[in-house]
Amino acid sequence: KAGVTQTPRYLIKTRGQQVTLSCSPISGHRSVSWYQQTPGQGLQFLFEYFSETQRNKGNFPGRFSGRQFSNSRSEMNVSTLELGDSALYLCASRSDSNTEAFFGQGTRLTVV
Amino acid sequence: GENVEQHPSTLSVQEGDSAVIKCTYSDSASNYFPWYKQELGKRPQLIIDIRSNVGEKKDQRIAVTLNKTAKHFSLHITETQPEDSAVYFCAARMYSSYKLIFGSGTRLLVRP
């Protein structure tokens, strides 16, 4: 069974640009969550999707948004990038019957 | 608000010794407490978890204890090995919510 797949693995963007990150969950998992990991702030929850609906949102500005498709794949978008958005973005998927969240390898975003 | 405090931030032990990492959570409604291990450049991986209806859980050299009254939970690693060196994160989650609130992480170094 394939694990959680995130693309791209690395990304360099310029301030002011926007970026879209993709996450393909484990087959059969309908829940996808996104986290931002930085050395200073640790792992912070961004949002969680289930069956194409956002169920929870963390304390991030509106520049951070996401969506989920009917095949459970999820994307997150960050607009008007700031230097402080440089981070490792992790997604995790979970099955309906299990509490364990499986993480992808992450997308490392660098804003210059 | 929801918060998880984790101590210590760094821990250095001799191979074969035990290591203990402690976390405190703020939301008394939290009822699921996973621990993740993240090796350098890799994704966080679940190593053990505990639900609020259980006081202790063990898996070979790893154990987790939970004190609901004090809102504390701890990770215990016995007979540490160099391959245990990594960053360990605790987390807490409410049953009705799907977001994991993470501690700030503990960098464990096991000296050969």
**pLDDT tens-digit readout, A26-68:** 999 999 999 999 987 889 999 999 999 998 899 999 999 999 9
In whole angstroms, give the CA distance from residue B65 to residue B33.
10
B5 Cα to chain A: minimum distance (Å)? 11
The answer to whether residue B81 neighbours chain A at the CB level (below 8 Å) is no
Both tokens of B105, joined, read: 């992480």
Peptide bond into B8 cis (omega under 30): yes
Smallest CA–CA distance from A47 into chain B, residue: B99
CB-based contact A43 B34, cutoff 8 Å: no
Q: Which of A108, A25, A107 is nearest to A72 (CA)?
A: A25
Q: Are B71 and B94 in contact (CB under 8 A)?
A: no
Rg, chain A, Cα only:
13
User: Phi and psi for B56 in degrees, rounded to 5?
Assistant: -155, 145
Distance CA A63, CA A19 (A): 10
Report pLDDT for B96: 66
Please work out, in degrees rounded to the nearest 5, the angle formed at the alpha carbon of residue A84 by the alpha carbons of A79 and A85. Answer: 40
A32 touching B, CB under 8 A? no
Q: State the count of interchain CB pairs (< 8 A) between A and B.
A: 54
pLDDT tens digits for B4-39?
Answer: 999 999 999 999 999 999 999 998 889 999 999 999
Judging by DSSP bridges, how do beta strands B106-111 and B10-14 pair with one another?
parallel
User: Strands A107-111 and A10-13: what pairing?
Assistant: parallel
**CA B37 → CA A54, A61, A74, B12, B41, distances in Å?**
27, 29, 24, 16, 12
Q: How far apart are CA B34 and CA B82, in angstroms?
A: 22
The minimal CB distance from B32 to the residues A43, A56, A99 is found for: A99
Cβ-Cβ contacts under 8 Å, A4 against chain B:
43
Query: Please, which pLDDT band fits residue B95 given cuts at 50, 70 and 90?
Result: low
The alpha carbon of residue B67 is apart from the nearest alpha carbon of chain A, in Å, by: 20
